[in-house]
Amino acid sequence: MFLLSLAARSLRARATISLLTIASIALSVTLLVGIEHVRVGVRQSFAGTIKGTDLIVGARGGTTQVLLSTVFGMAAPSGSVQWATFERWSQHPAVAWTIPYSLGDSHRGFRVIGTTGEFFTRYRFRNQSVSFASGRAPESPFEVAIGSEVAERLGYTLGDSMVLAHGVAEVSFAEHIAHPFVVTGVIARTVTPIDRALYVTLKGLEGMHADEFAEGGLMMGPPPEGQVGEPPITAFLVGTKNRFETLRLQREMNEDPTDPLTAIIPGVALAQLWQTVGNAEAALQLVAFFTLLVGLLGMVVALYASLESRRREMAILRAVGAGPRTIVGLLVAESALLAFTGALAGVALVYALLAVAAGPIEARYGLALAMRPLGQIEWLYLASVVSAGTLVGVLPAWKAYRASLADGLSVQL
């Protein structure tokens, strides 16, 4: 305790250099711990977007493409699924429920999803179901329920009218002006892509696109063969009666002889997605480690530089009875205090940044970065920082140990 008290007083006597060293360590720890905190938060946010769904089935395409286009609205669908195919698989003995999805339209940059009432009763995110802040789910063809972000950014309330459009661009020249939709519900905030989407019935989509094939409509030409009277489907979600049958059902769907399908298990697809972005995570962690290394080297330089001006101080301590071990212990204690204080300040800065930025990040990107306790890896990082900071103090301590008493007592002019 005496050495720690003496080390703290010594650092206060050199407040400027001590604060700069602490700031360097703190920024390094902020980057290191912050990256890990954000990485875990992003993974939890993505994983919590869809729960309780055993399979996502879309047209033949890549696993990641089906996942991103259906759940996250981040990619274009790979194609369409025939309505007859959807009905056939809905009646499979292993299937408990299905939720059809129809994508391809938008409203002022927000994606429109055609579905059924099953979405509002079956879909789960973070073990929660979809609920409404106000109003209800769409029931009639030209009714729409909107996500919380859509309502906030566009200022829509219950009873307002809107016109949907082709494509996902913010500005579209192919609007369905003949079929306006009325807002019947505002979905409660979920912190998922649901907040940035609009939900209509499949009948509404079917009726909205009817003018594309009518004379004088937005688009001319005959309807595609076999699609008359059939709601457009781009994917569907599946819940099984017994999860042990999921793999067998997935294999059967992927081998469908009548309609080329890609059936994915959400959890497995997410794991593959994280493998894809794993290199980017590793690169960020590498940058953080090098930043920490620079901070530790800066601390060594600061301690070495201060020794030249502290040679007389060391000699006086030796003269009043402090042994070599005391001198070494003092400098190592100073290094440990700098590392510990820097690590503590870095963690405090991480939580301060989360408190300030979590709301805007959630509103802008839909990522929930919760104020959670430090995880095992983060504690390991902190322990490594404090340990490394303590060890680097041994180098200047060894130099001080070798300094002679006579060299310290001779005044340098």
pLDDT by 10s per residue, the chain, length 413: 666 776 777 777 777 878 888 888 888 888 888 888 888 888 888 888 899 999 999 999 888 889 988 988 887 888 889 999 999 999 999 999 999 999 888 898 899 999 999 999 999 998 899 999 999 999 998 999 999 999 999 999 999 999 988 765 555 556 767 789 999 999 999 988 999 999 999 988 887 766 554 444 433 333 444 444 566 689 999 999 998 889 999 999 999 988 999 999 998 988 888 877 777 777 877 887 787 787 777 777 776 666 655 666 666 666 666 666 777 777 788 888 888 998 999 999 999 998 888 878 776 666 777 778 888 888 988 888 888 888 877 777 676 666 544 444 454 44
Q: Compute the distance between CA of residue 322 and CA of residue 389 in angstroms, rounded to an integer.
A: 24
Distance CA 123, CA 14 (A): 60
Domain boundaries along the sequence of the chain:
2-46+278-409, 55-264
Q: Which of 277, 209, 269 is nearest to 70 (CA)?
A: 269
The whole model's pTM is what? 0.74
HEC secondary structure over 254-316: HCCCCCCEEEECHHHHHHHHHHHCHHHHHHHHHHHHHHHHHHHHHHHHHHHHHHHHCHHHHHH
